[in-house]
Amino acid sequence: MKNMESKTISISTKRQITIPQKYYEELDFGSEAVCELRPEGLFIRPVHYFHDDDGSFSEEILADLIAQGLTGEQLLTAFKEQRKKIRPAVEAMIAEARQMAVSGEGKISLDELFGAED
Q: What is the mean pLDDT of residues 9-26?
A: 92
Residues 44 and 14 in one domain: yes
pTM above 0.95, yes or no: no
Q: Would 43 be classed as within a structural domain?
A: yes
Q: Would 19 be classed as within a structural domain?
A: yes
Residues 42 and 79 in one domain: no
Residues 82 and 101 in one domain: yes
What angle is formed at CA 29 by the lines to CA 28 and CA 32, rounded to 5 degrees? 155
Start-to-end CA distance of the chain, whole Å, equals: 37
Q: Would 86 be classed as within a structural domain?
A: yes
Whether the pLDDT of residue 64 is over 60: the answer is yes
What pLDDT sits at residue 92?
84
Burial class (CB in 10 A: 0-12, 13-18, 19+), 19: middle
Whether the pLDDT of residue 1 is over 80: the answer is no
pLDDT-wise least confident of 27-41, 68-82, 84-98, 100-114: 100-114
What pLDDT sits at residue 33?
87
Half-sphere exposure of 51 (CA within 13 A, CB side): 4
46 and 30 Cβ atoms separated by less than 8 Å: yes
Mean per-residue pLDDT over the chain, rounded = 82
Q: Would 62 be classed as within a structural domain?
A: yes
Q: What is the mean pLDDT of residues 63-80?
A: 92
State how far the Cα of 87 lies from the Cα of 73, in Å rounded to an integer.
23
Q: Domain range holding 24?
A: 9-48
Number of domains in the chain: 2
Q: Would 73 be classed as within a structural domain?
A: yes
Residues 20 and 34 in one domain: yes
Residues 58 and 76 in one domain: yes
Q: pLDDT band for 100, please (50, 70, 90 cuts).
A: confident
